[in-house]
Structure 1
Amino acid sequence: MLWTYFIIFLLAAIPFFEVAMIVPIAIIGGIPAIPVIIIAFLGNLLTLVLLIVFVDSVRNWRKKKKGNKEKSDSKNKRAKNIWDKYGLPGLAFIGPFFVGSHLTALLAVSFGGTRSKTLALMTASIAFWAISLGSAAYLGFDFLVKDDDNFGFITRLLNQ
């Protein structure tokens, strides 16, 4: 089981897998919900902290080198619209579900969010999505399959 949790940690740390995908898959696969939510949250948070610190450092370095001239990037128009409409809290809570937490954190810092506010809001957002999706997967799957002999496909696969 230790290897399973280690793999969950690693997959949650990888952009675009993250908690939004890993938590429901692991819980539906039969792995206990609470450890999955906690381990996936920590895996996702670790890489987010590293990303936020790195991007903020690069942004500060660029500001010192070029002055305050920031050019606009049209590739991130949807995220910029969310930023303009809802600010950092809106982007932090809406973004992870649609584009992933890593890209959301990158965009939040590059649009002008401070390191500490971005980290705090992204941590709350990841916790919210991990708990919400984990609870939905656990309750939904448990409701559909009420069989004590069914241990989930991942657990059966690992026990073979």
Structure 2
Amino acid sequence: MNFIDALQDFVLGLPEAVQFLGVALAAMVPFVENYGAVVIGSIAGIPIWATVAMAIIGNVAVIALITLIAGRTRDAVLARKTQPDDTGQADTDRRQRVRRLFDRYGIPGVTLLGMLLVPTHFIAVTLVSFGCSRTGVIVWHAIAITIYAVLTGALMVGLFSLTGA
């Protein structure tokens, strides 16, 4: 059994009245996120509108929390830093890729395009480490998460109508 099956079993194992909360919890998991949670909830038989809403709420909540924690951590590190960093350590390839995207497209482009490539959790922390506005990071993540969840919900509705499920 893979991780997605385990999450789906978790959601289905909950009482029907609170299965939508399982969708929100699934949306908090990196790589599952809003679109995976929409699929899981839809297959579990939860109404699409409730699945989309809970996936958005769960994913935005964890991104907001991660963004605020990363911001406070960055503030603490910068406050303690007394001299420039001369360690000579190169950025990771992923961070350099995100930085190039950021330099070219800003927060909106990185959040909207980056979600196709890496988890939103990583994008949020990286943008904060660049010194981006925490509010801007949270707002643009909320926009991107909503777009992707609604699109995934629409795809699931289309798939269900094609298959007659």
Shared fold (TM-score, shorter chain, > 0.5):
yes
Q: What pairs up with 1:2-151 in 2 under 5 angstroms?
A: 2-66=17-81, 69=84, 73-75=91-93, 76-142=95-161, 144-146=162-164, 150=165
Q: What is the CA-CA distance between 1:30 and the residue it aligns to?
A: 3.0
Q: What is the CA-CA distance between 1:17 and the residue it aligns to?
A: 1.4
What is the CA deviation profile of residues 72-126 of structure 1, one whole-angstrom value per residue up to 9, with x for unaligned ones?
5223222122112211111111112221211111111112211111111111111
Q: How many residue pairs get matched?
A: 146
In 1, the alpha carbon distance for the partners of 2:48 and 2:82 equals 49
Runs of 4+ in 1 over 6 A off after TM superposition: none
Percent of aligned pairs sharing the same letter: 26
Shift in CA distance, 124/68, structure 1 to aligned 2, threshold 3 Å: farther
Q: Is the 8 A contact 2:20 2:41 kept in 1?
A: no
Where relative contact order (Cα < 8 A, 6+ residues apart) is larger, the structure is 1
In 1, the alpha carbon distance for the partners of 2:61 and 2:90 equals 29
In 1, the alpha carbon distance for the partners of 2:56 and 2:150 equals 9
Structure 2 unmatched ranges of 5 or more: 1-15
Structure 1 unmatched ranges of 5 or more: 151-160
In 1, the alpha carbon distance for the partners of 2:160 and 2:97 equals 33
User: What TM-score, normalized to structure 1?
Assistant: 0.82
Question: RMSD of the alignment, in Å?
Answer: 1.9
1:98 match: secondary structure: coil
Shift in CA distance, 80/3, structure 1 to aligned 2, threshold 3 Å: same
User: What TM-score, normalized to structure 2?
Assistant: 0.79
